[in-house]
Structure 1
Amino acid sequence: MKPYLAQLHKELVLETNNVLDSEEIVSVTFSATPDLDAMFPPAVARRRPGWDQIPLLDVQQMQVANSLDRCIRVLIHLNTPLPRNALRPVYLHRAAQLRPDIALLR
């Protein structure tokens, strides 16, 4: 399970979709559904270049009936000169159903 989670984390933290500069990242919050318990979500992210000094927080998502399972969410807090409309939310795989109104499908 750990290699699968590591791959998901690499996908989730895709700076290429938003051209993020690690110097602009204030902090990052990861949340995971309770069924994902093999590793802490920030464990892979903190090894990324420039991410070793960024505060990373992980939390567990609420258990809600019929909610999406095996889901990791990442919220990146930025100080950036870019306008909001220049930043694109990224929803991968089944997570795209969470916000189809703004999901960037790959």
Structure 2
Amino acid sequence: MYNRGIRGATTVNRNEEKEILDATAELLQEVVRRNEIVPEDICSVWITVTPDLDATFPAKAIRALNGWDMVPLMCSTEIPVKGGLPKCIRLLLHVNTTKGQREMKHIYMNEAQSLRPDLSGSES
């Protein structure tokens, strides 16, 4: 068994609580689905947002999902790098798995696909 990291990112259009929570939940659920994992496999989740997203803690979206109440979550703000992608939510899941590092499926959605075009797109 290994502890692996799985990355994900997405963007929202507005700094509104519902939009941030919906996008966070959608991203997490896609990471979980594509990697065939369950909350019991997850050691922790680190969630970051760009400084322009301060309407809510995105961890609220994860905490509201069935089975996620015991998974440790941490929210923080990204470094405000000039020219960085705005209104971006990023996830880093630490997962117990028997899969190799190259088997992890990192998920980039919406405008965040531009961050890692090499990891975006296909279901393979």
Question: With structure 1 as the length reference, what TM-score do the two structures score?
Answer: 0.92
Picking from 4, 28, 53, the partner of 2:45 is 28
The question of whether the paired residues in 1 share the 8 Å contact of 2:22 and 2:61 is answered with: no
Picking from 88, 107, 114, the partner of 1:90 is 107
Letter of the 2:24 counterpart: H
Q: Does 1:71 align with 2:88?
A: yes
Question: With structure 2 as the length reference, what TM-score do the two structures score?
Answer: 0.80
Comparing both chains, which one has the higher relative contact order based on Cα–Cα distances under 8 Å and sequence gaps of 6 or more? 2
Spell out the pairing of 1:1-106 with structure 2 (5 A cutoff): 1-14=16-29, 15-104=32-121
- Count of residue correspondences: 106
3-state secondary structure, aligned to 1:13: helix
User: Which is richer in strand?
Assistant: 2
Letter of the 1:4 counterpart: E
Letter of the 1:31 counterpart: T
Structure 1 residues without counterparts, runs of 5 or longer? none
Structure 2 residues without counterparts, runs of 5 or longer? 1-15
